[in-house]
Amino acid sequence: METMIKVIISKPQYHAAFLIFLIFFLFLIFTEYNLHLEHSRRTRNIPNLFSEHDLRLPREDNSLMMLEGQQRDQIADEGNDGPVVDNKDDVNAYYFSMLVTEEDIEDFSVKLPDTLPNFKNPCWIEMVPEDFSYTNVTLYYQLFCLYPENQPHGSWQDSYDYMENLIHARKRYAVGSKAWRIRCFPYFFLLGFTKCGTSDLRRTLSFFPDFVDGITKEPKFWNKIRLRSYHGADMLPRPTLSDYLDLYDMAAEKIRSYVFVTEEGDTYHPAIIGDFDPMTVWKIPMWRKIKGNENRDAPKYLTPHHLHSINPNIKFMILLRNPVERTFSHYKFFHSKNNRKVQAEMFHDDIKKTMQTLEKCFRDNAIRTCLYQPWKSNITTIRSVTGSVYYVYLEDWLEVFPRKQFLFIRSEDYFQNRTAVLVEILRFLEIDSPIPKYLWRNLATLPVINRSITSKMSNKTRILLQEFFAPMNRRLVSLLEDDRWRWHF
């Protein structure tokens, strides 16, 4: 080596050759570095979840720890390559399930598969077809009418990119190149009503460790999308339950990676997801598209029937606000162009006309028929009133699901003391994970989400509305057997 260097230094004719070699060497290093950069650029967006544990399933997954002994032995007997799952029975034996989501929800043929026993939320493992990809995101935007305020946890596209990367990575470990994903159906629904504080409740719950958010607050799936009741529907493929579940795929992965180990060494996944769409309980303009409703004056089948056939154990929460205030808030939301005040006179005139329209309808028809009427003109004004006749909608839901699966919350109570109501909500949802003290302290002072503009309604309008709603509230009081639904008028 030493002699080589001496030779190079002493013989000037070698200098040029050495220089060329040096440049070439540096160039090699530079190229290699660039390739490395390129690689890390491509992999930077892939989160750390891609550990082998997250890719291999079923044998190494915690969720299988609680399988019956025999099944666990069976799994243990399989070689290191994992079980061979090539028919449906085997698939079920390993808690792999296929949810037949292409079937019609309206046929009552869609049921949740067996869910994982150590998950609080109904979840299951699903095989992913070989040619899997999420439906293109433009389609999702159109389907789910996304609003920016509905996505607090990163963009829609990021979620699907993340899931696609995860699933492609899993294929490398998969049996017969079929990857898997975990699917979850909401544990609870916050059903309504519009303008009663559902946005605030959703945000508040998202601070608690056991709550995981889906991609959007208002999927509009149950009252609109599944019935293709949206602009340009005929141009798009028919949405399936699978499209709806996709909204919760990221959340499902979070539920899976959030594990408790009990003293006995059992694992438990306590986190839950909810659907927070405040329209689900009352607004379903195209109910005649549901099979069995076609030629009726009023619907026979509604969302509760379909939800019950999919999962009879769902828990429902409903916020109800003084119907006069709710009506005004709803009206302001749709009539205050550019955040301008709503004039008391304009509100009064519209309400007076609406009362006449509705009372005319009530003379010739059942109230229920009028409320489900897909009105053609002045629709937002009419809905600001019909959306406050709570008992009619609640009767439809309570006919299908037992009373104990509902928690009714008075919005005024919630706005006044969120903490007290949250305690009730956590009990209802059977949340028993410890809640940090600071969370309670912070929530006590956190301002309520309020997008309402300041406008006054005149006393004569208030009286008109109170007279209209008083008998409706009496029906609500007897339906829910509780006097607080009278709101003192």
Ligand X SMILES: *[C@@H]1O[C@H](CO)[C@@H](O)[C@H](O)[C@H]1NC(C)=O
- Cα angle value 372/376/377 (rounded, 5°): 120
* Comparison of 103 and 412: residue with beta carbon closer to ligand X: 412
Q: Are 303 and 277 in contact (CB under 8 A)?
A: no
Instruction: Supply the minimum distance, in Å, between the C-beta of residue 139 and ligand X.
Output: 4
* Comparison of 47 and 237: residue with beta carbon closer to ligand X: 237
Out of 3, 13, 48, 136, name the contact with ligand X by CB under 6 A: 136
* Comparison of 403 and 486: residue with beta carbon closer to ligand X: 486
d(CA 399, CA 220): 23
Burial class (CB in 10 A: 0-12, 13-18, 19+), 483: exposed
x-or-dash string of contact with ligand X, 412-441, rule CB under 6 A = ---x-x-xx---------------------
Number of residues this chain uses to bind ligand X (CB under 6 A): 19
Q: Are 329 and 261 in contact (CB under 8 A)?
A: no
What is the DSSP secondary-structure string of 63-106? GGTTS-HHHHHHHHHS-TT-----SHHHHHHTTEE---TTS-GG
Distance of CA 212 to the CA centre of its chain: 9
Q: 259: left (phi > 0), else alpha (psi -120 to 50), else beta?
A: beta
Name residues contacting ligand X, limited to 441-480 (CB under 6 A). 448, 450, 452, 454, 459
- Cα angle value 460/466/469 (rounded, 5°): 145
x-or-dash string of contact with ligand X, 207-236, rule CB under 6 A = -----------------------------x
d(CA 87, CA 460): 70
Out of 159, 354, 386, 461, name the contact with ligand X by CB under 6 A: 354
Please identify, among the stretches 134-142, 173-181, 256-264, 340-348, the one whose residues bind ligand X according to the rule CB under 6 A.
Answer: 134-142
Question: Is there binding between residue 177 and ligand X (CB under 6 A)?
Answer: no
Instruction: Supply the minimum distance, in Å, between the C-beta of residue 452 and ligand X.
Output: 4
* Comparison of 328 and 397: residue with beta carbon closer to ligand X: 328
Out of 139, 145, 259, 435, name the contact with ligand X by CB under 6 A: 139
Instruction: Supply the minimum distance, in Å, between the C-beta of residue 267 and ligand X.
Output: 33
Instruction: Supply the minimum distance, in Å, between the C-beta of residue 355 and ligand X.
Output: 9
Instruction: Supply the minimum distance, in Å, between the C-beta of residue 463 and ligand X.
Output: 9
What is the DSSP secondary-structure string of 123-141? EEEEEE-TT--PPPHHHHH
x-or-dash string of contact with ligand X, 371-410, rule CB under 6 A = ------xx--x-----------------------------
* Comparison of 417 and 433: residue with beta carbon closer to ligand X: 417
d(CA 17, CA 26): 14
**DSSP assignment letter at 149:** G
Question: Is there binding between residue 353 and ligand X (CB under 6 A)?
Answer: yes
Phi first, then psi: give them for residue 375, nearest 5 degrees: -60, 145
DSSP β-ladder status, 315-320 and 188-192: parallel
Burial class (CB in 10 A: 0-12, 13-18, 19+), 443: middle
Instruction: Supply the minimum distance, in Å, between the C-beta of residue 261 and ligand X.
Output: 32
Question: Is there binding between residue 145 and ligand X (CB under 6 A)?
Answer: no
Q: Which residues bind ligand X (CB under 6 A)?
A: 136, 138-139, 236, 350, 353-354, 377-378, 381, 415, 417, 419-420, 448, 450, 452, 454, 459
